[in-house]
Amino acid sequence: MSSVPTATEAKPLTFRRFKDGDHKVRNWQAEIFDADHSHKCPTYVQSTPPCQGSCPSGEDIRGYLNIVRGIEKPPAGMKWQEYAWRRLTEANPLPSVMGRVCPAPCESGCNRNQVEDFVGINSVEHFLGEWAIENKLAFPKPEARTGKKVAVIGGGPAGLSAAYQLARKGHDVTIFDERAELGGMMRYGIPGFRTPRTVLDAEIQRILDLGVATRMNCRIGTDITLDELKSQFDAVFLGLGAQSGRPLPVEGSDAPNVVTATAFLKAFNDGRMRHVGKRVVVVGGGDTSIDVATVARRLGHIDQVHEGDRPEMAIAGHVAHDVAAVSARQGADVTLTSIFAIDKMQASKHEVEHALAEGIAIRGGWAPVAVVRGADGRATALRVAKCEAKIAGGRLDVKMIPGTEEDLEADLIVSAIGQAVDFTGLESLNNGKGAIASDKNYQVAGQPGLFVGGDVVRPHLLTTAIGHGAIAADGIHRHLRGEAQDKRPKIDVHAFDLMRKLVEKGQKITAVTEPLRGTDASPGAIHNFENRSDRYVIPHDELFLGHFPYTPRNRRQIVTLSAEQALNNFEERMLPLLEAQAQAEAKRCMSCGLCFECDNCVVYCPQTAVFKVKKSQSTTGRYVDTDYTKCIGCHICKDVCPTGYIQMGLGE
């Protein structure tokens, strides 16, 4: 059987690479590059900088730094500090907390590292968060309510982030938490000298002021079932967190004075534990282990300890330490062991430096072998051995070195080797790996309307949990509107919005579809503008680094304590930048992937083809344009563009 094509009406093609009669492939290079000019001309490409690409919460870092430095102007009647804070909090509602404790992966990815040192993004965020608290800034309430109800389980960073984003969209949100106060690991896992409680309370209250309700001391799976929540609410977000510590996987770890880091820190933050033993050994290597060690150093020990007043009794919740005994305490000898060398530990470098300065002994390259117990069953020492640890293929490989065993005497041993999720009452959600499986929108597999985020997906940073909450909130919003769950962009961050700036400028623009592009007939963007922020992170070799002179970083004032000074010192160690310092630090930002109005392209264009947009029509991202009747494609504008915003292309 042969197929016979049906007769169809011939339609002219809208695009022809070859004309009728062409039979040879032409060499386009000969036409693109011709002596001192080419047919390539400037294109204006907005890209994502690596700081934003590295930020788990998806902050528009370049955006708020450009506001702080004065490149992007705020709307009339608004101070630049408030405008920068509002840009920042579109992604992260807890900037003052994160500005203190986030290990800042954005700074590791900063292109400025190729010049001299990264931009102090974390310190500028800290400054903006403090300014907002001092000036009592509030989040704008939604203009309309949707009538939809969402239950958020867990009041940690993931739950608070989801509640914040959902409340902004007009939904009625109720947070359920088993604790007496909101904050999750920010309150119960991080000591107050790193996150002052007044700061944490202020940023949480700002979220609640959007109309978010709370039900405290209520555990899902025990006090109320998940099925009951599903019947009462239109959607549910699970931000359970991983607040159960992992015990040491060695013999004898069930001794009463061998505890987990989460239990230790909770007892301290609750105010129950007021002193520790004379000798404390912490096993870990991350920021949590540093927190445990520095808290132990501050608490110290007392000589006369009654049987019922041992630290493990307070940690277990049986008793609270007698406050009167605190005045007699003395310093504790604290040792932290890690399977990795000190310079390879996961803890933030500055936190490690603090710990060493405070007299904490850090022993890298040692692994626990066993807990040595006395006749009463309590641990008397931790037996460790030298080891070689490496991560290969995503798996941890630890090799012990025989004959290197050593006993570290201890009155208290703390395991800070990881955290786990407590699935009591929610066992059906456990995917068998101690987590909950979800898709890219953080919707639980096979359960529409049930979303998840934070450590229950993958134990990681606080800022990661904030990002999960925001993405899940987007998915919940679409679910409540009856819309399909869209595919998330390759680079899932908040990006500079040119359309917003045009609206603020008062420009009359027609509706456009994303991603925004500029053509010769487009009134919304300059000719040959393209927004690639959703798919392209610009590397340092696309920038003209020669534009940037050596400029040292403006560092925050950090109080470093000695071993003696640390005892009983619970004051904050990190102070925010001054206003002038924050502005100076923001000016070090290279604005990778977006024009920062340096005028290089205008000054160096030999044909005067590149020109400034009229002041009445210009704004950030719409500062220069090209007269393509003058352009000869010499590439000079691209070569001298510090930010990589100007690329060369054929255009249209």
pLDDT digits (tens, 9 = 90+) for 253-285: 999 999 999 999 999 998 888 888 899 999 999
Confidence of residue 543 (pLDDT cuts 50, 70, 90): very high
Q: How far is CA 149 from the centre of its chain?
A: 27
Task: Tell me the average pLDDT of the chain.
Answer: 89
Asked whether 404 and 418 are in contact (CB, 8 A), the reply is no
**Residue 524: what pLDDT?**
74
Exposure string of 223-232, with b = 16+ CB inside 10 Å and e = fewer, is: ebebeebeee
Asked whether 451 and 443 are in contact (CB, 8 A), the reply is yes
Residues 6+ apart with CB under 8 A from 253: 247, 371, 415
Lowest mean pLDDT among 8-17, 44-53, 185-194, 443-452: 8-17
How many Cα atoms are found within 13 Å in the side-chain-facing hemisphere of 418? Answer: 10
Per DSSP bridges, beta strands 624-626 and 610-612 are antiparallel
If you write DSSP's letter for every residue of 407-466 in order, what string do you get?
Answer: EEE-SEEEE-S-EE---TT-GGG--SSSS--B-TT-BBTT-TTEEE-GGGT----HHHHH
**Residue 161: what pLDDT?**
98
Lowest mean pLDDT among 160-164, 297-301, 586-590: 297-301
Per DSSP bridges, beta strands 412-415 and 258-260 are parallel
Asked whether 612 and 602 are in contact (CB, 8 A), the reply is yes
Q: Give residue-wise pLDDT tens across range 86-141.
A: 999 999 999 999 999 999 999 999 999 999 999 999 999 999 999 999 999 999 99
Asked whether 561 and 358 are in contact (CB, 8 A), the reply is yes
**Residue 5: what pLDDT?**
42
Confidence of residue 506 (pLDDT cuts 50, 70, 90): confident
**Residue 520: what pLDDT?**
66
Rg value, the chain, Cα? 29
Residues 6+ apart with CB under 8 A from 439: 445, 485
* Residue 414 neighbours by CB distance under 10 Å: 33
Residue with tokens 């460790």: 384
Lowest mean pLDDT among 99-103, 224-228, 430-434, 479-483: 430-434
**Residue 425: what pLDDT?**
87
Exposure string of 588-613, with b = 16+ CB inside 10 Å and e = fewer, is: bbbbbbbbbbbebbbeebebebbeee
CATH superfamily to which 245-415 belongs:
FAD/NAD(P)-binding domain (3.50.50.60)
**Residue 7: what pLDDT?**
45
Mean pLDDT of 503-523: 69
Distance CA 311, CA 295 (A): 13
Asked whether 76 and 70 are in contact (CB, 8 A), the reply is no
Q: What is the DSSP letter of 163?
A: H
Q: Do domains 149-242+421-480 and 245-415 have the same CATH topology?
A: yes
CA distances from 429 to 78, 218, 426 (A): 47, 19, 6
What length does the chain have?
Answer: 652
Mean pLDDT of 582-607: 96
Q: Give residue-wise pLDDT tens across range 324-355.
A: 454 556 889 999 999 999 999 999 888 999 99
- For residues 619 and 321, which has the higher predicted lDDT (pLDDT)? 619
Confidence of residue 36 (pLDDT cuts 50, 70, 90): low
- For residues 82 and 16, which has the higher predicted lDDT (pLDDT)? 82
The answer to whether residue 609 scores a pLDDT higher than 80 is: yes
Q: State the sign of the Cα–Cα–Cα–Cα dihedral 521, 522, 525, 531.
A: negative
Confidence of residue 587 (pLDDT cuts 50, 70, 90): very high
Asked whether 350 and 560 are in contact (CB, 8 A), the reply is no
If you write DSSP's letter for every residue of 117-141 in order, what string do you get?
Answer: S---HHHHHHHHHHHHHHTT--PPP
**Residue 306: what pLDDT?**
66
CATH superfamily to which 149-242+421-480 belongs:
FAD/NAD(P)-binding domain (3.50.50.60)
Q: State the sign of the Cα–Cα–Cα–Cα dihedral 200, 205, 206, 207.
A: positive
Percent of the chain at pLDDT exceeding 70: 89
Confidence of residue 60 (pLDDT cuts 50, 70, 90): very high
Tokens (6 digits) for 386: 């030298």
Distance CA 577, CA 585 (A): 9
Distance CA 570, CA 409 (A): 27
Distance CA 331, CA 21 (A): 91
The whole-model pTM stands at 0.89
Q: How far is CA 209 from the centre of its chain?
A: 24
Domain borders along the chain are 45-136+494-649, 149-242+421-480, 245-415
Mean pLDDT of 213-218: 97
Q: State the sign of the Cα–Cα–Cα–Cα dihedral 610, 616, 619, 621.
A: negative
Closest by CA to 496, choosing from 57, 50, 64, 44, is: 64
**Is the preceding omega at residue 157 within 30 degrees of 0, hence cis?**
no
**Residue 275: what pLDDT?**
84
Lowest mean pLDDT among 265-269, 484-488, 522-526, 620-624: 522-526
Report phi then psi at 640, rounded to 5. -100, 5
The answer to whether residue 321 scores a pLDDT higher than 80 is: no
Report phi then psi at 236, rounded to 5. -135, 135
Q: Count of H helices and E strands in the chain?
A: 21, 23
- For residues 517 and 369, which has the higher predicted lDDT (pLDDT)? 369
Highest mean pLDDT (candidates 173-177, 393-397, 617-621)? 173-177
Confidence of residue 320 (pLDDT cuts 50, 70, 90): low
159 sits in which H/E element: helix 157-168
Confidence of residue 200 (pLDDT cuts 50, 70, 90): very high
Q: Give residue-wise pLDDT tens across range 628-652.
A: 889 988 889 999 999 999 999 875 4
**Residue 307: what pLDDT?**
67
Q: Give residue-wise pLDDT tens across range 374-406.
A: 999 999 999 999 999 988 777 889 999 999 999
The answer to whether residue 40 scores a pLDDT higher than 90 is: no
The answer to whether residue 304 scores a pLDDT higher than 70 is: no
How many Cα atoms are found within 13 Å in the side-chain-facing hemisphere of 352? Answer: 18
